[in-house]
């Protein structure tokens, strides 16, 4: 009886069932096995053409190599068989390319390079493509949050610390906090783009000895053809660039998760302040028809935890022996694609969350009103402190607040009958103390400060 299993790919990012929640069409294309082999062939072609220009190899030979450095000229099954037979990750492809080039031109492929030169350069191209995909997505999220922050710069909301009511604030200030963090990530990605996708072409031990004195000239032309950074030295065991990339993507995903988790929390019925956009046909539960679960928010948090785990792997890959160590490289083969899948997926999901975010100003205001007595204790302390000193006022209001909480009385009512307070604060002053809308501090100004910077940065 035939095996019903077709042995489809089992990694969650490739899964037909789960894949679109853990990766994107773009990330899967960047890290596609077939695309990677073509990328390596493109690198071999760029190397040959650079060497042909410099006379390292005959120019006509370089053109011939470039002409056949295409998967249309290579038998991938043969490449795989030779890879398994040789136990070497690149030799199968090189031998297939050599065959395609013919006996003369085939002797000039991969001239002076070492395997890691090609594979590190290929990984740099992948990193470049990931950054090129992520940056516009991040800009779109920033634009959406900029609009939301500006719209709610004066919308009263409840600031919470340690999951408890703290002080009134504008909802826009909360969003500005998300925005401010993402703007710093935007700067980090810009710096990464300028220094991380570096070419690698330094030979067996990083000395360029095999290039016969024309190593730097070859590297410069090679990197220019590929659109990569020209490093001063080989980085076969110097992996800080890659670690910075992985760590930065994990940080970006972490910020997206912080935003998503706040939306998830504030969408609880007991808060009801925001919610994900809903559409007819979206199912929250297979048994409870009423459910509108914040599933997208939850998924972003999942992706951030997975991304964070990759950062740890990248950090361990920084420790390599001498001038070459496959233990570092092979860790990156796993964590670079994975963190890229998770980050791009998180950005794609977060885009839908922030662009469709529904804010309920009435619930924001109602939740402040419910705890007005508590969250205005600071203002009461300062008002009383003008008469008896701040520290004494803190102690007095503290005792008053604890009594109110213990007896289940409104602090406002207790204060109105307290001789210490009534002797120093008029009824009008007490009334003003308990007006949360007039105690937003500089929330609107702080919000618009970030909004204006975001608008100037992301047009």
Catalytic sites, residue numbers: 162, 285
Q: Six-digit token pair at 336?
A: 């670079």
Query: Which token pair is 84?
Result: 């398994």
Q: Where are the alpha helices (DSSP H) in 107-239?
A: 115-151, 171-195, 215-226
Query: What are the backbone dihedrals phi and psi of residue 269, each rounded to the nearest 5 degrees, phi first?
Result: -55, -35
Q: How many residues does the chain have?
A: 459
d(CA 46, CA 58): 14
Q: Which of 261, 273, 236, 239 is nearest to 365 (CA)?
A: 273
- Tokens 């300028």: give the residue: 194
Helices (H) and strands (E) in the chain, counts: 20, 4
Going by the DSSP 8-state scheme, the letter that residue 169 receives in this structure is E
- Element (DSSP H or E) covering residue 254: helix 240-266
Tokens in use for 414? Answer: 């207790």
Q: Which of 130, 412, 81 is nearest to 245 (CA)?
A: 130
* DSSP helix/strand/coil, 272: coil
Say if residues 172 and 445 touch (Cβ distance below 8 Å): no
- The distance in angstroms from the start CA to the end CA of the chain is 62
Both tokens of residue 458? 């992301």
CA-closest candidate to residue 453, choices 186, 256, 183, 140: 183
User: Exposure of 217 by Cβ count < 10 A (0-12 exposed, 13-18 middle, 19+ buried)?
Assistant: middle
Name every residue whose Cβ is closer than 8 Å to that of residue 376 and which is 6 or more positions away in sequence.
168, 411, 433, 434, 435, 436, 439
Query: Measured between alpha carbons, how far is 63 from 52 in angstroms, rounded to an integer?
Result: 8
Task: Give CA–CA dist 369/434, Å, rounded.
Answer: 10
Longest alpha-carbon distance in the chain: 103
Rounded Cα gap, residues 390 and 396, in angstroms: 10
């Amino acid at each position: 009886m035939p095996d019903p299993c077709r042995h489809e790919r089992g990694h969650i990012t490739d899964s037909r069932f789960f894949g679109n929640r853990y990766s994107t069409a773009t990330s899967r294309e960047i890290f596609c096995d077939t695309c990677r082999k073509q990328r390596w062939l493109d690198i071999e072609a760029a190397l040959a053409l650079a060497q042909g220009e410099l006379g390292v190899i005959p120019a006509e030979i370089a053109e011939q190599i470039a002409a056949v450095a295409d998967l249309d000229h290579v038998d991938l099954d043969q490449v795989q068989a030779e890879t398994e037979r040789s136990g070497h990750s690149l030799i199968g492809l090189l031998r297939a390319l050599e065959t395609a080039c013919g006996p003369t031109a085939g002797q000039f492929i991969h001239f002076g390079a070492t395997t890691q030169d090609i594979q590190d350069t290929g990984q740099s191209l992948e990193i470049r493509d990931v950054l090129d995909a992520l940056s516009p997505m991040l800009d779109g999220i920033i634009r959406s949050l900029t609009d939301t922050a500006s719209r709610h710069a004066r919308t009263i909301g409840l600031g919470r610390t340690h999951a408890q009511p703290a002080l009134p604030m504008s909802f826009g200030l909360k969003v500005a906090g998300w925005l401010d963090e993402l703007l710093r990530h935007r700067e980090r990605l810009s710096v990464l783009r300028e220094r991380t996708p570096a070419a690698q072409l330094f030979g067996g031990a990083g000395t360029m000895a095999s290039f016969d004195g024309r190593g730097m000239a070859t590297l410069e032309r090679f990197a220019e053809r590929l659109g990569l950074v020209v490093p001063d030295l080989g980085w076969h065991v110097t992996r800080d660039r890659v670690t910075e990339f992985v760590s930065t993507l994990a940080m970006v995903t972490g910020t997206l998760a912080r935003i998503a988790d706040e939306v998830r929390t504030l969408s609880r019925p007991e808060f009801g302040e925001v919610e994900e956009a809903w559409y007819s046909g979206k199912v929250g539960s297979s048994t409870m028809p009423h459910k509108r679960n914040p599933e997208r928010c939850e998924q972003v948090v999942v992706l951030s935890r997975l991304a964070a785990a990759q950062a740890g792997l990248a950090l361990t890959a920084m420790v390599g022996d001498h001038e070459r160590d496959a233990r570092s490289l092979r860790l990156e083969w796993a964590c670079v694609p994975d963190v890229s899948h998770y980050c791009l997926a998180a950005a794609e999901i977060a885009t839908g969350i922030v662009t469709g975010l529904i804010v309920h100003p009435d619930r924001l205001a109602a939740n402040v009103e419910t705890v007005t007595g508590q969250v205005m204790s600071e203002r009461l302390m300062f008002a009383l402190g003008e008469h008896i000193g701040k520290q004494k006022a803190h102690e007095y209001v503290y005792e008053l607040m604890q009594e109110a909480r213990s007896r289940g009385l409104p602090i406002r009512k207790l204060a109105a009958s307290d001789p210490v307070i009534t002797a120093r604060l008029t009824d009008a002053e007490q009334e003003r103390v308990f007006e949360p809308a007039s105690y937003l501090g500089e929330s609107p100004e702080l919000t618009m400060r970030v909004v204006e910077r975001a608008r100037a940065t992301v047009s």
